[in-house]
Amino acid sequence: MLSATVESMTIGESLLLSLVSMGTIMAVLLLIMGLIYLMSYLYREFAKRKKAKSGMPESATVAEPAAAQPAAPGSCGELTLVKCSERDAAMIMAIVANNMQEDLNRLRFRSIKLVDDSDNK
Amino acid sequence: MDIGQIFVDLVKDSGFAGLFTGMGWQNAVMIVIALVLLFLGIVKKFEPLLLVGIAFGMLLTNLPLGGVFHAEMWNNPDGVSYSEVLQKGGLIDILYIGVKTGVYPCLIFVGVGAMTDFGPMLANPKSLILGAAAQLGVFCAFVLAIVTGLFTPSEAASIGIIGGADGPTAIWLTKSLAPGLLGPIAIAAYSYMALIPLIQPPLMKLLVPKKERMIKMEQAREVSKTEKIIFPIMVTVFTVLILPSVAGLLGCLMFGNLLKETGVTDRLSDTAQNALMNIVTLFLGISVGATAIGATFLDVKTILIIVLGLFAFAFSTVGGLLFGRLMCLVTRGKLNPLIGAAGVSAVPMAARVAHVQGLKDNPDSYLLMHAMGPNVAGVIGSAVAAGILMSVFG
């Protein structure tokens, strides 16, 4: 069909070809997009497993509440604790909320890290 | 010995006489056009690395009786005889072999790949959609060229690819589909790429409301070295399996990028980015310019190509911006539609234009890295568009 239309082409045929071509470009780039997502997912999973296997000490992370325990209103995300116990973290968050005169549920903490002298050496 | 006759013969044999006899006026006009292009390249700095070479090639080839380029050897309906080119060809005939065989555009893509960081695109893969949407101009110009009735479908496809805003891709496709139009198409493609800062901002203001232009995008994630190494290999395998005709262009782009990302081929990456790129740009510019001969260039088709090229660029920008707005809607305002305009390839000029416009509307908004995603996706998109057109008309 294509070879027959190469020498001459009607406007309708050119529109149809354009539509098909745009669709093909979109499909190819969507495929590449999907592959990138797949690649980054596999890479992250692989890195996680590698880390777990090597038994490297991971920073303590307060996981999101389990499904059985509904999150407090406004809670979101994860809090990363580095050299800081959960008890200390809870106290720090309460103090910050109190000082700011804000409801704790309206604040978002991303990470709490103990900086000691050894970190600066 | 008749000294007067010898003098008359010398004058008759000179190039000056050639300018004033027969169709010599066409060469004179072409020389003026070449000088204007040299002015634009040198003084106005319009893509000087290529435009200066193209303009000088045009100047050389239009000086009568110079014999550096023989168009008749290349436009032979029975096919090109490379042995004849090597035996009887001039300097530019020899250099032109690289254009005709598609070697130069591919080698330039090795250099482009070695200079490109796909990180922003890997961090935000959705930007690939914008790179696809910004190919709209390619097909709008293609249809418009068919509507004029003056171009064959192959020529219309070559004109359309100007909208891909990618010089090497335009040359790669045109040398196969419409070699007679190579000069005007290459000049239009590179001129409009240089004019992006003038073409795109009015369209951005027209199509994207200020509220959306002011959107500040969140910082993208960091991309690991491993992902950057896997990406070019993966894209080459999958895309070439789907569209074998893009093997040359896309394969070279990804090869150059792999050289950059491996970390163990720094010397090769450096050569691809600098020495190789400069040498090929030099040969490509001068030999493409040499194809712009008065007899074929001074035609109503050239004017139409210039006009359609502008349409192609504008429609590509429109496609990117409108899809950007759609994605802004879908992401609930997390994406600034301006980065859609960067999908027209032309790395990194289009990304810079989107960034500057965003900065004008919101001084706290830094779009450069976000715009680089669609920008490099546009390079892939235009290569795919060229591959499709090549497989249909080639």
Listed in sequence order, the DSSP H helices in chain A are 2-6, 11-54, 86-100
Is the pLDDT score of A104 beyond 70? yes
Q: What residues in A contact B139, CB-CB < 8 Å?
A: 17-19, 21-22
Q: Tell me if A29 and B384 make a contact (CB, 8 A cut-off).
A: yes
Q: Which residue has the tokens 């435009």?
A: B51
Residue of A nearest to B378 (CA): A29
Torsion of CA B318, B320, B323, B329, to 10 degrees: -100
Asked whether B67 and B90 are in contact (CB, 8 A), the reply is yes
B165 touches chain A (CB under 8 A): no
Q: What residues in A contact B235, CB-CB < 8 Å?
A: 32, 35
Query: Average of pLDDT values for B98-102?
Result: 90
- Chain segment A37-56, per-residue pLDDT in tens: 999 999 888 888 888 887 76
Per-residue pLDDT at A103: 73
Per-residue pLDDT at A120: 42
Is the pLDDT score of B23 beyond 80? no
Q: Tell me if A22 and B135 make a contact (CB, 8 A cut-off).
A: yes
Q: Which residues contact A36 (CB under 8 A, 6 or more apart)?
A: B121, B122, B125, B128, B231
Distance, CA of A75 to CA of B71 (rounded, Å)? 73
Query: Average of pLDDT values for A79-100?
Result: 81
Sign of the CA dihedral with B117 first, then B122, B126, and B131 last: positive
ipTM of the complex: 0.86
Asked whether B367 and B339 are in contact (CB, 8 A), the reply is yes
Per-residue pLDDT at A119: 46
Shortest Cα distance from B227 to chain A (angstroms)? 7
3 state SS of A62: strand
* B191's tokens: 């001129």
Is the pLDDT score of B151 beyond 60? yes
Q: In this structure, how many other beta carbons lie within 10 angstroms of the beta carbon of residue B299? A: 15
Per-residue pLDDT at A5: 47
Is the pLDDT score of B100 beyond 80? yes
Q: What residues in A contact B143, CB-CB < 8 Å?
A: 11, 14-15, 18
Q: Tell me if B132 and A30 make a contact (CB, 8 A cut-off).
A: yes
Per-residue pLDDT at B342: 94
Task: Give which of B219, B239, B194 is closest to B41, Cα–Cα.
Answer: B194
CA distances from residue B346 to B97, B120, B374 in whole angstroms, order as listed: 26, 16, 11
- Per-residue burial over B31-41, b if 16 or more Cβ lie within 10 Å, else e, is bebbeebbebb
Shortest Cα distance from B306 to chain A (angstroms)? 20
Task: Give which of B362, B367, B381 is closest to B320, Cα–Cα.
Answer: B381
Q: Tell me if A9 and B153 make a contact (CB, 8 A cut-off).
A: yes
B243 touches chain A (CB under 8 A): yes
Per-residue pLDDT at A92: 87
Beta bridge partners of A82: A113
Q: Tell me if B143 and A18 make a contact (CB, 8 A cut-off).
A: yes
Per-residue pLDDT at B214: 95
Taking one residue from A and the other from B, the number of pairs with CB-CB distance under 8 angstroms is 101
Confidence of residue A2 (pLDDT cuts 50, 70, 90): very low
Per-residue pLDDT at B183: 86
Q: Tell me if A6 and B226 make a contact (CB, 8 A cut-off).
A: no
Distance, CA of A99 to CA of A74 (rounded, Å)? 19
Per-residue pLDDT at A77: 61
Per-residue pLDDT at A60: 47
Q: Tell me if B136 and A22 make a contact (CB, 8 A cut-off).
A: yes
Q: What residues in A contact B153, CB-CB < 8 Å?
A: 5-9, 14
- Chain segment B224-246, per-residue pLDDT in tens: 999 999 999 999 999 999 989 88
Confidence of residue A117 (pLDDT cuts 50, 70, 90): low
Residue of B nearest to A19 (CA): B139
Closest residue to B234, CB basis, from A9, A26, A39 = A39
- Chain segment B333-372, per-residue pLDDT in tens: 999 999 999 999 888 889 999 999 999 999 989 999 999 9
Q: What residues in B contact A6, CB-CB < 8 Å?
A: 153-154, 392-393
Per-residue pLDDT at A69: 52
Residue count (chain B): 394
Q: In this structure, how many other beta carbons lie within 10 angstroms of the beta carbon of residue B170? A: 30
Q: Tell me if A29 and B131 make a contact (CB, 8 A cut-off).
A: yes
